[in-house]
Amino acid sequence: MRSYRQRTRLFNRAVGLVVGAVVAAAALLLWTAVSSSAPVQGDAPSEGLIFGIWRLFYDLDAPAPRVLLAAVALAFLFAAGVAIIEIRVSNKSRRSFDLHGSPLAPKVIMAATRGAYDGPVTVTVLIPAHNEEASLQITLTSILAQSHRPARVIVVADNCTDGTVAVARQHGVEVVTTINNTAKKAGALNQVLARILPDQGPNNIIMVLDADTAVDDGFLAAAVSRFENDRGLMAVGGLFYGEPGSGLLGQLQRNEYVRYSTQIGRRRGRVFVLTGTASLFRSTALRTVAANRGVTIPGITGDVYDTAALTEDNELTLALKSLGALIISPAQCTVVTEVMPTARALWVQRLRWQRGALENLGAYGITPSTFRYWAQQLGIGYSVIALSAFVLLIVITVLAVDAWVWFPFWLGLGIVFTLERVVSVWAGGWRARLLAAALVPELIFDMFLDLVYVQGIIDITRGRTGTWGHVNHGSTRAPTPILGSGVGS
């Protein structure tokens, strides 16, 4: 009989094939549609003169109205279809009273806690740390300076060979050292959760905070207020922004994070992923996850975190959603996290994220809770094809013409696209806006991420083992400014 890990690996390889096949089929369909009719011979470009001195060539050709209408309608139907299904799944989960299938559904929790007072909401903070001497001080300073102080802070020192433990003790917090842990962050957290969870009541909250992350002032107060006002709420996730520094590469990542937070804001806090940088969980939720591992959700019974997952935060989000939990990311709960300082470090980080997301989908399969995530992966795959085709078309055009030709239709479309890029990072300040307006650097960054996506598909299909990355910050690190609720400018 195959073990759980062996079965998971088989599913993982299958999901790579499925996603790759669907995306390839979509590309083939698009190619067939485009090449089904013979190309029409266009008119020669017109010649114009601007201010009497600048001669240029231009071409007013544009796609036929029916083609434009079909493209817009297809995009609208796809987006609307995914949104409607997601809302229906969310509403059904909230109304569910299925004690076995959705034990964390709001109606189930509300019925179980009706008329009971379980004391004030308290927060225990767990900070998993592996050689985080340089950044831990910033993390501890930010959490200990919160207007709503945590009841307990525990640094989980995992296989540390630097001064991580000493830094933690200097700040007067508890330290738990892992024992024979080989399962990275998930294994370290499982060890400490196995010790403290049995003593936690319904109003005791567990916060998991990365040792390279600083929480903004007001984070805990806002999160605790949410838990106090909604007994059915099971988890609160943070919105993360990038730390200053690391030049152009760092700014590209900061722009990406700002766009993600803007998107969550438009979704009124509905969560894609409870970020591993900083999230809070009601103890009831974590106990229920542990009890259902190996029964209704993947993993080993008794573990809160699935140690087979490369991205433990994404996996735990799927676990909670599959059990019917209500989870949100309020706009007031913001954190500042590290950005990758080099392209190599960024490649390793994003390859782990991408592979982890695909592997988690393989483990959970196609369910109402995972439908949104499947659509997201297929959408990323389709965007890879679209961007690659766009770049190839530009190259062919440049090589095929003797002089530069302006196409007003496509130029106008490009301006609209650029405006959207600028507006979506407006909260990130003037550097973010200027970089978005330049467009080309962000397109190159997107192509980099597309290559990561393709590499992830190849690796997962070939069954290659995924790896973790760790940024070595040295022994000292400049303090990171703690931002307010916004990103500043």
Instruction: Give the chain's length.
Output: 489
Q: What is the pLDDT of residue 2?
A: 52
Q: How much is the pLDDT for 40?
A: 66
Beta strand pairing status for 278-282 and 233-237?
antiparallel
Within 8 A by CB and 6+ apart from 52, the residues are none
What's residue 11's pLDDT?
62
Say what the pLDDT of residue 487 is: 34
pLDDT of residue 393: 86
pLDDT in the model for residue 485: 34
Which residues, at least 6 apart from 215, have a Cβ–Cβ distance to it below 8 Å? 142, 143, 146, 209, 238, 278, 334, 335
pLDDT of residue 390: 86
pLDDT digit string, tens, across residues 325-362: 999 999 889 988 889 999 999 999 999 888 888 888 88
Residue 6: the pLDDT is: 56
- The label of the residue with tokens 């709001």 reads 106
Residues of the chain with pLDDT under 70: 1-13, 33-42, 269, 465-489
- Residue-level pLDDT at 5: 55
Tell how far CA 171 is from the center of its chain. 31
Label the pairing between strands 204-209 and 278-282.
antiparallel
Residues 6+ apart with CB under 8 A from 182: none
For residues 270 and 312, the answer to whether their CB atoms sit within 8 Å is no
Q: What integer pLDDT is reported at residue 269 of this predicted model?
A: 66
Task: Output the pLDDT for position 91.
Answer: 76
- Angle at CA of residue 269, ends 267 and 273, nearest 5°: 95
Kindly report the pTM of this predicted structure. 0.84
pLDDT at 141: 95
pLDDT of residue 74: 78
